[in-house]
Structure 1
Amino acid sequence: MLLNTHTYYSLRMGTLPPAELVRRAKGLGYASLALTDVNNTSCALEFWNCCREAGLHPVLGVEFRRGQRCLYIGLARNLEGFRELNQLLSESSIDNKPLPDVAPPMEHAFIVYPRLVKPITDFRKEEYLGIRPEHVARLFGHELLAHRHKLVALSPVFFVDNEGFELHRLLRAIDENALLSQLPAATVCKASERLMPPEQLQTFYQSQPYLLEQAEALLAACHIQFEPGLHLNRQNFTGSVQGDFQLLEKLAHNGCERRYGHLGTGSPEYQNAQQRVRQELEAIAGQSFCPYFLITWDIVRYAAAMGYRHVGRGSGANSIVAYCLGITDVDPVELGLYFERFINPHRQSPPDFDIDFSWDERDDVTDYIFKRYGRGYTALLATYVTFQGRAVIRELGKVYGLPKAEIDAIIASPAGSARHHGLAGKVLHYGQKLEGFPNYLSIHAGGVLIAQQPLYYHTALQMMPKGFAVAHFDMHHAEALGFHKYDILSQRGLGHLKEAVGLIKQNTGRTVELQNLEQIKKDEKARALLREGQCMGCFYIESPAMRGLLSKLRCDSYIHLVAASSIIRPGVARSGMMKEYIRRFHHPYSFTYPHPVFEEHLSETFGIMVYQEDVMKIAHHFGGLGLAEGDVLRRLMSGKRTAGLGLARIREQYQANCRARGYPEELAAEVWQQMESFAGYAFCKAHSASFAVESFQSLYLKAHYPIEFMVAVINNFGGFYQAEFYFHELRRCGGELHAPCVNHSSYLTTVEGRAVYMGFVHIKGLEAEVAGRVARERAAGGPFRGLADFMSRVDAGKEQTGLLIRAGAFRFTARAKAALLWEQVAGQQAEGGGMGLFPEEERAAPVFVPDEVPPEQQQLQDAMDEMELFGFPLCPPFRLIDQRYRANSLSCAGRLREAAGRVVTLLGYYVCQKQVRTAGGKRMAFGTWLGEDGHFWDTVHFPASLGKYPFRGKGVYRVRGKVVLEFGFPTVEVLELERLPYLGPLGYPTEAGPFETNRP
């Protein structure tokens, strides 16, 4: 009899999780239940499963609302009916048109109206009028009684009790951005819209019992059956299963010739590759995964045709078929990767392909997918942005009308009730209730669905601001239904490569081919940068931790970089195996392998299971398990559920095999324990290898074309560090850095030979449109001759022109900024013509402003302007402190190794920090600094030191500490830390930096 129930996926309205709604209804004795979330179908499958587990009859539907007005409730009689409802809701969103006041004809769904929107005699056979409990009395003597067969009981459910009603009101106030005390009544449900016991409903409808009976009849007529386990992705690419296999086979063998043909068709390596291709094709066809490969190939083929670069990674990169199709550039033969890692008889889901595109090209690739595979068949996956922690406290505090200071106090000390506002208890109470509630739908990082049937059979779609429709469910609901996503991702690293190649061509006339991977991997200059850890700007390997690891390993090969990309991961580092790997690397004869199998198969990683594939190797070669079983073991150990074989069964098989092979029981147990501990955090080797390919491409560009490469990094606004340090690295690599200039700069940073001009984008407050006007006018009318010429040609306004002057964009005039600023004011006064109050001769004479300023004072003033406008000075920051601080300090940070074991004092410019917790829960930190000689160096701040000498923001610090070497890499264990004051514009020290406080 409940036709209109809601979960908390009725966003910012409903208050019940799906399982809670079902549990409550079951407890009250209901036998069937209709889910009708407001303009949402996110939890359809979850609700359906909960009902089936509880023994309730599930009915799926939608409540269609326009603003606050409920238009009608749709109930799906079957999957076709669910499609009709979802399609109506989706098309309204996709086409940006309002929902109609009257529902269109539905062949497989019931429509229940909450009010009489048209004469009852015009109701179609599937349409009904809902009578709410408070409206039953109005039926007496009403003409509607002549049409009883069109009337049903309608008792909406949004909450279960008074507390739920208050929670609903708070959600509505958050949604309306209104104070709770001023919340319009029209935006709030009635207090009676709660889950009542069936007996109470029967009391309300006792004078018209047929209303409940007819509501029950509608529910009984609705039957939806999901079939989890089916593959709902597009089932073919060419139009037939046989055609798909034939095309995939042709592409794979042609690709094999392209990838391995240089080895000679008669060589054992080529024959091995061909055999593996045939073996994989058989497995792929047996699992019906041909269309998955072909659609992925189609996506990267389009990207290649458009000139877009991509990186194919994920477990699918273990596949030689994927390598031959160009989906990935990871050679599984070279790396000894097992294809069972991505596909085996026990795996029901297709391989995982993560395809990365440049951040500015991904949307075009996504647009191609939508247009190629069709509206309604293609969608992005959703994620649910939920109410969390401090944010929900702030939202509730605003709803209750608390001032910001009171809200801050509650957040800072939730347990300190004595100091809080009287409403703090309510804020904290309802904040805890709302924690984890879905707030709104967002877009998954890159998941795309391509379905065989219209997606409307399983979900509604919502148009997002980017212009792509998103499914109402997330990846977990999608996988439970049988959808498998294509991951179309973006990253800045590929943008670096693309732009660098373009800048090199533009600046030097040379064409760089980054696909010649064998040459790039062996390039001596690139390997030297890698070995020295000089990787700033290079994808995935530029962080301080990675720089330190590469230096400790003296890493200079592709294979070792693949390993480094894996052992840097938090799980490996925390387990202590990263340190053990480095130790074994430097002392390869200091340890013994537990069994010859480890030496045979893990010698590349010194007997340590670094990769997920290593678990498979040991399970197979030591424990006698099949490779497919080894992958199942890896998935089970890492917490991933796999149908069929269970962990206990595989362990029994492993133990039996070990006994049969005569292994000591202690050895078998130790190896099992190692596999179990490694599997949880090990990295997919193909994943690491994909990253390492891109890292080597970055290294190659930086080694041979450092200026163009660093400009590309700067212009793509991506990387571990702030732009300031990429500009520093640019200068260190030989670039001549110039502040923005109206005669050279564009919106982005430009390069002319060795000269690099900062882009206008780096001037805070400068409008993009003004930057565009400057570049267009310069292209049309030639260079600007001076400020007056600029002002006559470019409509920039006083404020924007002032920013350009202060940024140094008119320094080619050789005039002081103060003089230029006065000229700007005088020029704008002159533009006013003769309409002033006084005659021209009566105007005040212009104030004399000198064009020359003492160099030291000008440098300080420029630095102050630069720090305000760019966020950092263009001169070395050490020039901005009193030079007496440099006395007795070690100025050459690049020679720290020579000071090992000594206590030294250094000046360092703050770069970044990473705070962690010790085993005892205390805070400690790692710092990274820029030294006076241009080298980066690192510090360790143990809890006692960090507590006494905390970081105090950006600036130059004096650091005193002990130099410690670990595998040849120096760090400074901090004993004292002091941030130094900058000189003011007149050369006097300031209390702190000009735009920083001394507060922690």
Structure 2
Amino acid sequence: MYLNCHTAFSFRYGTLTVQKLFDEARRCGVHTLVLTEINNTASYLEMLRLCHEHRPGADGLTLYGKEPYVLDVAVGVECRGEDNALLYIAIARNNAGFEELNRFLSRYNREHKALPERAPVFDQVFILYPLGRCAPEVLRPYEYLGVRPQDLGPLTLYAPYQEYADRFVALHPVTFASKTDFNMHRLLRAMANNTLLSKLSKTQEAQPDEIMLTEEELRQRYARFPELIANAEALIAQCSLDLRPGGDQNKKHLRGSRAADLAYLTEETWKGFTRRYGHADEAVVRTRIEKELDIIHKKSFASYYLIAYELTQYATQRGYDYVGRGSGANSVVAYCLDITNVDPIKLDLYFERFLNEERASPPDFDIDFSWDNRDEIYQHLFDLYGEQHVCLLGTHVTYQRRSLLRELGKVFGLPKDEIEALADRNEYTPDREDIAPLILRYAERMKDLPSNMSIHAGGVLITEEPIYRFTTLEFPPKGLPVSHFEMHNAEDFGIFKFDILSQRGLGHLKETVRHVKRNRDAHVDIHQFEAFTQDEGIKDLMRTGRTVGCFYVESPAMRMLLGKLRCDDYLTLVAASSIIRPGVASSGMMRTYLERFHAVRRGESYASIHPMMDELMRDTFGVMIYQEDVIKVAHHFAKLTLTEADVLRRGMSGKYRSREEFQRVADRFYTSCRAQGYDEAVIKRVWYEIESFSGYSFAKGHSASYAVESYQSLFLKAHYPLEFMVGVINNFGGFYKTEFYFHEARMLGGQISPPCVNHSEYLTTIEGRALYIGFVHVKSLEERIAREIAVERGRQGAYTSLDNFLRRLPLGLEQMRVLIRMGAFRFTGKTKPQLLWEAMLFFGQSRTKQPAGMQTLFDTAPKEYPLPTLQRNAQEDAFDEIELLGFPLCDPFQLVSGGHVGDTAARELVGCVGKRVSILGYVVTTKNAWTQKHEMMYFGTFYDRHGEVFDTVHFPIVAKQFPFRGRGFYYIEGKVVEDFGVPMIEVHGFEKVPMIDKRAELPELPVGMA
């Protein structure tokens, strides 16, 4: 009877979670409703899942022991125009109607057009117009007029339309559950319209009475016109959507049949076995392959493997590097097919994490491509399987507290500084005691509600049936189609993703190889993994934490962890890649691992939780650090089934944590462990370790894949450091800002030069040991000019003078000023003031000359004019660089005001443990963290006057007293502490040091980088 129900997926309009709407229906005794989000279909799968889980089976019991309730849900869309005007409500009669509706919405999304005011012709869709928008006599047979309770008075005016009585239906929208929800709705509408709440137009709001009523209450509202209720009931009785959780909606086969797919997969696997393992009869490997192929056959997953296989073959043919990672690396079949490059036998990877007979969902392949290749990979999938069957996976961005406080602050009209104080520190002035608590309260209520649709990091859906049978498609600007539902809902209904991911690390690997070839005329093979594991240069970089720029091992936390482990082997790096993750690190398990690691190296024993834990996690000293450890412990230690064990593993993602399914298995864990006779303290400790993963751990195969790529980066940095740093810089990715990568290149012996019109390209280039900064890094320089400089130089040769440059490139005076201030014409031997004067003369005379950019027949030198003496201090270049690049190219310590640099250098800290020191540092990066008491603290990374890096920790009291104040120099006082031999400064005092006046004389400080 309810034909128009919203949830918060009617973005910036609805207020109810999907669960709350279900609960409201149960509270009111409503057994049928139509879910109609505004211009989207994002929520329907979640609602269908809830309905399925609460529906009693033949035995009267529900799935996962939930309280039974039968709710039948039809699906539609509330179609609104750009001005928020309600156009009509479209309701799918059945699955065919839902596909019609999805195609209709998708077409307008693709064309980025507003929906038409009159609905198009449909075959299996009902249309409801609001009363007054459309005359009854022009309605098509499947079109109706919706009458809201407030319309009942005017409805008497429609007496002449008695012959159309069956065209009018009761329409009571549902948007809220309470008056508070209505207030929240008004705040959302003000945010959506970027206006003050006091200025929000009533046309932008819903009616305050859009609250679900009991069936009896609704009938009383329409007591004078009971036929309206009867018409609504008759309409909704004709609507249903036949789609239930489970099943398999994915591409069924690639080679004509599933049997043919399996035969081809088997053939290709054994070919790969010969290539990977040689011709010897490897009994262990053969047994493992046969086991995997048997499970793949039983689960009908051959097509899933073959799609990944075809994709990686295509990439290889195109010369694109890729990394197959995730739990897919646990499969020997995937290794034999070259989908992954990690040997599961050698690393003893747990296949059941990837695939087992009890697992309902397909396995998970994560395949990384370089960021500049992924678009072509996406397009290949669309071309191969057809646009009707492929889309990118959507995701739903949720409101977060700080962003909400900022938006709500604007809605209530607070000044910017007060908004920032409220968002950052929960602080407000006494005269805001009426508004600020209100903002804080509503921000808490609105937190985690969906705010908008976005795109999953790499998910691609490939379905057997047309994708429109399941979702409307969104078309972001210049993008590929994206589903309205997200990953977990898709998986619930048997639509499983391929993760086609993008990363910068692969880009800097391939670019480094190119630079080595061009700069040194040397060919580099970065696929010699076995040789890399024995490379002393790589071992030295890892042991000392000198890994800046290297994939996944360059962050301050990872650099310190490698130093604490004295890491110099592959297996330790694999472990480090996972224990650095937040769940393992914050639970104390990282420290436990470190203590046990060093104890074993010293030949000592350690206190064990339980002998079976040590047996299951032999490589990691009984500490759970990988996702499959959850499955191992749940299955072998707690004796749960593999299905139950995988529920626990998935539950740690957070999505399932609140579901009854997860709680039931969690209860089973305790019951089963007690049945095994384990001590209660042991059970609680093991469960604590399982809980600590919280979605932030890696599968071992994932860590192993990452570690392989880390070794490739480390090899290039160890042997071709400058080319490697150029590769990192040009791929614009990594933990640090570009400035620090140039600094690292300088520390490695590079000579960093400003952009030069006769040497630089759009990207940074290397000539010998000289690095010429690319024009892409120059702020305010148009991309067209930045690219054309090198292109024109390639066509006509080097530029001979400023005048020659101006005659060859079309640009204005402001762009020339940028290039001159950047030092791009230093080859002329003239000062910047002289060059600026010449440029102004050129443009001043341009009316009597041919336009800039037009090549003359004879390149004659321009007449030289006597210029006045133009003064310029040396440090002005540095300030030009700061303005145009974001950082200086000189030693930045020359720009510090005053000469006090402290009593210690970074290289001396290891010998000062326990001592109080002072040091002047230049900020590299900072990281905020929260203590268990929810107090803010910081970690900092700096470099000293010698260019060497050191790290700091700022505990809450100090962090509050001495906050960071942006980039620049800080005078730091504190005590040197160490952890497993790695020093850092525990800060006690912290003060920002100003830079010199750019017009002052350059100070002669006895400082400078080594």
Q: What TM-score, normalized by structure 2, do the two folds share?
A: 0.87
* Residue 856 (structure 2) aligns with: none
Match of 2:923 in 1: 910
Change (3 A) 1:424 1:671: closer
| Aligned residue identity for 1:926 | F
In 2: Cα distance, 1:456 partner to 1:468 partner: 15
Q: Which of these residues, 927, 936, 940, is aligned with residue 940 of structure 2?
A: 927
User: What's 2:14 paired with?
Assistant: 14
Q: Tell me by how many angstroms 1:467 deviates.
A: 2.0
Partner of 1:551: 563
In the alignment, the residues of structure 1 paired with residue 931 and residue 414 of structure 2 have an alpha-carbon distance, to the nearest angstrom, of: 38
In the TM superposition, residue 826 of structure 1 has moved relative to its aligned partner by 2.6
User: Are 1:332 and 2:344 matched, yes or no?
Assistant: yes
By how many angstroms is 1:697 displaced?
0.5
Distance 1:582 1:948 in 2: 33
Specify the alignment match of 1:231 in structure 2. 248
| Distance in 1 of aligned mates of 2:888 and 2:508 | 24
1:270-323: CA deviation from partner (whole Å, max 9, x where unpaired): 332222111111111112211211112222222222222211111121111111
Amino acid in the other structure paired with 2:268: L
Q: Give 1:828's aligned residue.
A: 843
SS in 2 for 1:795: coil
Which segment is superposed worse, 201-210 or 732-741? 201-210
Residue 249 of structure 1: CA displacement?
0.7
Change (3 A) 1:462 1:619: closer
Matched, 1:863 2:878: yes
Which secondary structure does the structure 1 equivalent of 2:2 belong to?
coil
Q: Partners in 2 of 1:28 and 1:777 — Cα distance?
A: 74
Aligned to 1:439: 451
- Conserved in 1, the CA contact under 8 Å of 2:673 and 2:683? no
The residue that corresponds to 1:213 in the other structure is 230
Aligned to 1:457: 469
Residues 838-890 of structure 1: per-residue CA shift (max 9 Å, x gap): xxxxxxx988444786xxx41x222222222222211122233367425x734
**2:304 paired with 1:304:** no
Structure 2 match to 1:689:
704
* Unaligned stretches of 5+ residues in structure 2: 55-68, 851-863, 1004-1010
Counterparts in 2 of 1:33-48, with a 5 A limit? 33-48=33-48
Which residue, out of 504, 510, 517, partners 1:498? 510
**What amino acid is aligned across from residue 496 of structure 1 in structure 2?**
H
**Does 2:99 match 1:83?**
yes
Deviations 1:397-427 (A, max 9, x none): 4445554355446546757463228655665
Letter of the 1:112 counterpart: L
Partner secondary structure for residue 911 of structure 1? strand
**What's 1:763 paired with?**
778
1:609 deviates by: 3.6
- Please identify, of 96-105 and 485-494, the stretch whose mean Cα deviation from structure 2 is larger: 96-105
Q: How does 1:290-301 map to 2 (within 5 A)?
A: 290-301=302-313
Distance 1:483 1:776, change over 3 A: same
Is 1:983 aligned to 2:999, yes or no? no
C-alpha displacement at 1:455, in angstroms? 2.9
Matches within 5 A, 1:501-516: 501-516=513-528
- Matched with 1:370 is 382
The CA deviation at 1:336 is 0.8
Deviations 1:608-641 (A, max 9, x none): 3433445556677777888787666756788768
CA contact (8 A) 1:340 1:631 kept: no
Task: Tell me how far apart the structure 2 counterparts of residues 168 and 931 of structure 1 sit (CA, whole Å).
Answer: 53
On the 8 A contact 1:341/1:628 being kept in 2, the answer is no
Q: 1:720 deviation in Å?
A: 1.1
Cα shift at 1:726: 0.7
Q: After the TM superposition, which of the residue ranges 798-807 and 573-582 deviates more from structure 2? A: 573-582
Give the AA of the match of 1:314: G
My pick for the range that moved more, 601-610 or 421-430, is: 421-430
Query: Residue 552 of structure 1: CA displacement?
Result: 2.3
- CA spacing shift, 1:384–1:135, aligned 2, 3 Å: same
SS of 1:64's equivalent in the other structure is strand
Return the offset for 1:546: 1.4
Contact 1:615 1:634 in 2 (8 A): yes
Distance in 2 of aligned mates of 1:182 and 1:71: 24
| TM-fit CA distance, 1:536 | 0.8
**Counterparts of 1:435 and 1:622, CA distance in 2:** 38
CA distance in 2, matches of 1:7, 1:596: 50
The 1:861–1:597 alpha-carbon spacing in structure 2 relative to 1, beyond 3 Å, is same
Superposed, 1:837-856 pairs within 5 Å as 848-850=867-869
Matches within 5 A, 1:463-502: 463-502=475-514
Which of the numbers 727, 746, 749 marks the counterpart of 2:764?
A: 749
Cα distance in 2 for residues equivalent to 1:523 and 1:117 = 76
Closer, same or farther in 2 for the Cα pair 1:952/1:484, shift >3 Å?
same
Of stretches 625-634 and 317-326 in structure 1, the one that deviates more from structure 2 is 625-634
- One-letter code aligned to 1:714: I
Residue 328 of structure 1: how far off its partner (Å): 1.0
Query: What is residue 853 of structure 2 aligned with on the other side?
Result: none
Structure 1 residues 323-402: aligned runs within 5 Å: 323-402=335-414
Name the counterpart of 2:109: 93
2:969 maps to which residue? 956
CA deviations on 1:759-813 (whole Å, 9 max, x unpaired) are 1122222221121232222222222222222222222222221111111111112
**Equivalent AA in structure 2 for residue 861 of structure 1:** E
Counterpart amino acid of residue 903 in structure 2: S
Structure 1 residue 912: Cα displacement: 2.1
State how far apart, in whole Å, the 1-side matches of 2:476 and 2:537 are: 46
Partner residue in 2 for 1:591? 605
C-alpha deviation, 1:192, in angstroms: 5.8
SS in 2 for 1:329: coil
- Deviation of the 1:700 alpha carbon: 1.0
Note closer, same or farther for the CA distance 1:735–1:86 as it changes in structure 2 (3 Å cut).
same
Match of 2:910 in 1: 897
Q: Does the CA-based 8 Å contact 2:178-2:211 persist in structure 1?
A: yes
Residues 812, 160 of structure 1: alpha-carbon distance in 2 compared, 3 angstrom cutoff: same
By how many angstroms is 1:573 displaced?
A: 2.8
Q: 1:645 to 1:335 in 2, by over 3 A?
A: farther
CA distance in 2, matches of 1:628, 1:208: 54
After the TM superposition, which residues 10-409 of structure 1 pair with which residues of structure 2 at under 5 Å, given as runs?
Answer: 10-50=10-50, 53=54, 54-67=69-82, 68-96=84-112, 98-114=114-130, 120=136, 123-133=139-149, 134=151, 137-138=154-155, 140=157, 142-159=159-176, 164-190=181-207, 195=212, 202=219, 205-261=222-278, 264-266=279-281, 270-405=282-417, 407-408=419-420
Counterparts of 2:526 and 2:518 in 1: how far apart (Å)?
Answer: 17
Does the CA contact (< 8 Å) of 1:42 and 1:473 recur in 2? Answer: yes
1:916 partner SS: strand
- Pick from 867, 877, 888 the counterpart of residue 873 of structure 1: 888
Letter in 2 for 1:764: K
Work out the CA distance in 2 between the residues paired with 1:577 and 1:86.
48
**2:983 paired with 1:970:** yes
Equivalent residue number for residue 998 of structure 1:
none
Relative distance call for 1:987 and 1:485 in structure 2 (3 A) is same
CA contact (8 A) 1:982 1:989 kept: no
Report percent identity of matched pairs: 46
The answer on whether the counterparts of 1:615 and 1:675 sit within 8 Å (CA) in structure 2 is no
Query: How many angstroms apart in 2 are the aligned matches of 1:624 and 1:18?
Result: 35
Residue 138 of structure 1 and its aligned partner are, at CA, apart by 4.4
Letter in 1 for 2:399: F
Contact 1:139–1:145 (Cα < 8 Å) also in 2: no
**Whole-Å separation in 2 of the counterparts to 1:795 and 1:524:** 52
Question: What's the CA shift for 1:183?
Answer: 4.3
Instruction: Go from structure 1 to structure 2 and tell me whether the alpha carbon gap of 1:643 and 1:290 turns closer, same or farther (over 3 Å shift).
Output: farther
Output one character per residue of 1:494-532: Cα deviation in whole Å (capped at 9) or x when no partner.
111121122222323333222232223332322222222
